[in-house]
Chain A
Amino acid sequence: MINVSELKKEYKTGKETVPVLKGVDFSVKEGEFVCIIGPSGSGKTTLLHLLGGLDTPSSGSIQLDGTDITSKSEKMRTLIRRKDIGLIFQNYQLLPTLTIYENIVFPLHADGKKAPSGKVEELLEAVDLAGYEKRFPNELSGGQQQRVAIARALIHEPSILLADEPTGNLDRQRSSDILDLLATFHQERKQTIVMVTHDMFAAGYADRIVLFKDGVIEAEVTREDEDYAKFLSRFMA
């Protein structure tokens, strides 16, 4: 599904070059729920942006279903993104001028398609917001907005869902709702999910946890691993 190798990313601030990713190798299998966890500034969000084609790496490759997206033009990456990738952000990023319905169908419209009838309603039902079609984002709570964002990220049935700190702005209870929702989509629809977080409670939902530190992968652990918690505790400040 996703194969990342030797991925590097540097940023130039004035004369200085700051390496953010220093050579990352990892992969995600279809149907997997992978959590990338690490302290802030470790480069995990940059990695997610690169996976989503929002940015280009300094070197290395990212293969998405066998296609190397790093060699693609900006336009091609956009086209791939709107077909294969669903994105969820920490601050929801709903479009304020659009109704909930219109927000959800946006990725389809961008691609010049229409939503199959009943699809939006079904998704809204799934995120427990049935009947909210005509509302505007500012009428919703943070948790509700994020649930809309999830519906929006899934409307075009992307092969992979990328979530960047989806619970970062929410309290524990609402976080749980969001994570439960993601877990449901993972279990019931076999949705591949890559989630970046620094919240270990979120990490518990994943099949596999990638521990990220200073631009490199320090360790990868699965639930079956013995030292799973030991690693995690080291990363959780």
Chain B
Amino acid sequence: MSVKHSLLALLYEKSRHGYELKTGFEEMVQGMWPLNAGQVYTTLDRLERDSLVETPGHDKKDRKLYTITTAGKEELWTWLEDPVGRSLFKDEFYFKFLCANQVSYENRQSMIRNQKETMIKDVLHLTHLKKQMMGSGNETMKLLIEGALLHLEADIKWLDMIADS
């Protein structure tokens, strides 16, 4: 998954130790994706095993420093260049909807309403976030939010559509 590649991206920037990688990651996603330390270290182990990173030494506080290898860089480039397709069933709600119809689920309407509510909550959350980030200069994140909002808009429209059908 992309945790692996985000760690590579962080290491491409500079050599870091494990904890630095965790905070770096959280900073990048504006704290919206909490990562536990264990997850960081298992991922790092796997990267080291695949020779994508190496550990040339320790810092002054004797923490293990990780550095990206040439193979790691190549892996990062390949990943960035690889386009992402969109699978119809990647969205879990799509599947839920499919199954609900399969079993003639009688609470189908409330299921849709709850989904919509959640999405609206997401919208409000994201717009608020965007507003808070106003002037922070984190353009990349704003663009991500913008993209998410566009997806949400389409999703909500679709929910309204299936609710009426």
Instruction: Give chain A's interface residues, CB within 8 Å of chain B.
Output: 172-173, 176, 179-180, 183-184, 187-188, 200-201, 203-205, 223, 228-230, 232-233, 236-237
Contacts and interface: CB of A to CB of B under 8 A. Distances in A.
Given A201-B153, A236-B156, A237-B160, A176 B118 contact: no
A187 B146 CA distance: 20
A183 B124 contact: no
A15 B90 CA distance: 58
A204 B126 contact: yes
B124 A223 contact: yes
Given A172-B149, A184-B135, A187-B134, A201 B116 contact: no
Interface in B21-71: none
Contact of B134 (A180, A203, A223, A229): A180
A172 B121 contact: no
Contacts of A223: 124, 128
A191 to B, nearest CB: 13
A184 B134 contact: yes
Given A232-B120, A233-B120, A183 B131 contact: yes
Interface centre among B120, B126, B153 (most CB of A within 10 A): B120
B127 interface: yes
25 contacts: A172-B149, A172-B150, A176-B146, A179-B127, A180-B130, A180-B131, A187-B135, A200-B120, A201-B123, A204-B123, A204-B125, A205-B128, A205-B131, A223-B124, A229-B117, A229-B118, A229-B120, A229-B124, A230-B117, A232-B120, A233-B113, A233-B116, A233-B117, A233-B120, A236-B156
B107 to A, nearest CB: 16
A228 B134 contact: no
Given A176-B149, A237-B160, 16 more contacts: A172-B153, A173-B146, A176-B146, A184-B135, A188-B135, A200-B120, A200-B156, A201-B153, A203-B124, A205-B127, A205-B128, A205-B131, A229-B124, A233-B116, A233-B120, A236-B120
A184 B131 CA distance: 8
B135 to A, nearest CB: 7
Contact of A200 (B123, B128, B146, B150): B123
Nearest to A187: B134
B68 to A, nearest CB: 36
Interface in B105-147: 113, 116-118, 120-121, 123-128, 130-131, 134-135, 146
B86 to A, nearest CB: 19
A204 B117 CA distance: 14
Going nearest first, the 10 A-B pairs with the smallest beta carbon separation are A204-B127, A229-B121, A233-B117, A204-B124, A229-B120, A183-B131, A233-B116, A229-B117, A233-B120, A232-B120
B84 to A, nearest CB: 22
Contacts of B134: 180, 183-184, 187
B81 to A, nearest CB: 26
Contacts of B149: 172, 176, 201
Contacts of B120: 200, 229, 232-233, 236
Given A183-B131, A201-B127, A228 B121 contact: yes
Contacts of A232: 117, 120, 124
Interface in B65-118: 113, 116-118
B151 to A, nearest CB: 11
A183 B116 CA distance: 25
A188 B134 CA distance: 10
A180 B149 CA distance: 14
Nearest to B146: A176
A237 B157 CA distance: 9
Contacts of B153: 172, 201
